[in-house]
Structure 1
């Protein structure tokens, strides 16, 4: 389970950097999504900082909408320290490893611990609630 959580963290960090939502070097500035890598996921887990792993499919309109919402949310000062890793839902191994069923899944972590998991969230308020608990 720890390996899966680590992978998810890295995915969120990677995803945010590719979407401009997270930064792998300066977490308190503009967030940029990063494409998932195990090393980023492990680093995010070790940091004990919050991060999110997003599973998105390229031609998914819901995923694109979710990415827009995340981009807006991660610009807010209270969320700038968050990292986002994005996993391509077509990566069957990662999808299986994280036990993800839907291509618009968000998994939120605090350090090594998975805090929440959702799919289909398309409102900023709902995603914000997932992050803040």
Structure 2
């Protein structure tokens, strides 16, 4: 059972927190590492460098969609592969704990749980364009 009065606010809080996290990670790649530096890092992992630009775009658009509540449920699902990529290329080999060198996979995995929770609970309060759900 869930509380009809507070669940939309819980989804709003989850949406904002996840959106801000993705915005922060995009900003780190764009402003600190630079797009070219991020592409070089992707290449050092054996990934195509151009994938960095797609990753940054998805992070930025997804963050904005989450924060504003524009098809947030869809955005949450679309963002999951970004985190799976981070787990399988960087954080997974580093181990479980985020304090390990290169960070562990626990934080991105928990982030995925948050995205799945949002996708299941809905867009929440103050969503500009709620995702239509057919039952």
Q: What TM-score, normalized to structure 2?
A: 0.30
More helix by share: 2
Q: What TM-score, normalized to structure 1?
A: 0.31
User: If you compute each CA radius of gyration, which structure gives the higher value, 1 or 2?
Assistant: 2
More strand by share: 1
